Amino acid sequence: MPIATVNGIPLNYQVKGEGDLVVLIMGTGSPGRVWDLHQVPSLVAAGYRVCTFDNRGIAPSGESADGIAIEDMVADTAGLIELLGGSAHVVGTSMGARIAQELALARPELVHRAVFLASHARMDRFQQTLNEGERDLMDSGITLPSKYRAAVTAVMNLSPATLADQHAARDWLDVFEFSGGETSPGLRAQLAMDRDFDRRGAYRGITRPCLAVGFADDRMIPAYLAKEVADAIPGALYQEISDVGHYGYLERPEAVNKVILDFLAG
């Protein structure tokens, strides 16, 4: 993957396919290559040029260990779009959805259509408390047993429908058990970003065509928060996908990809 200096930091990105540009924005702690499993092949097959990248905080992009603001990440994405041609469809999930929302508000000339997976204009008390607890746990130096960490990760990010499937549950738990590692300074900086915000009023100023998607069994970003985003943005659409948790784009990729492709096709 090439690395370019964008907005004053190294940004690791990848482009595949030909056609109208789609930029995919990942959530907290995850590299852009996660999109390669399901969304990139689907979009490329549909005739799009697709860009994935590692947000600041995720090496080898700049880790910005001294602190990250949402405005930094919006400017990073805007600079990457300008580097690649000047305008794009944008699709983000979780924190990436928030980046896409703020980009559509601040730089509408860069956005054709926008899809926000696990979108949110605010975080409720549960999300704020969970985030504070995650930071406290990381800073404590305590290492959770790998099996316990895997079980908690599964419960928080997957649908009960997935966990009820013995084969799927086993596979996911194996992945979570063996994918844990030390918290990098960049991830710690992402987790320290402001969680006490409410952008519902501001999002009334978004003018681009937008789709907010809620994942019905999402414990991290409940679907009602995604519905609030659609209600706030004039003309925005809302769609809810059943039997998926926070990792809905990995649990039911065919359903998520269809929603994305149908909306981008207009």
Catalytic residues: 94, 218, 246
d(CA 266, CA 264): 5
User: Please, are residues 127 and 195 in contact by the beta-carbon 8 Å criterion?
Assistant: yes
d(CA 127, CA 93): 16
d(CA 86, CA 134): 37
d(CA 264, CA 251): 21
Residue labelled with tokens 């908690």? 152
Length of the chain: 266
Sheet holding 20-25, edge to edge: 3-6, 9-16, 48-53, 20-25, 88-93, 111-117, 210-215, 237-241
Largest CA distance in the chain: 49
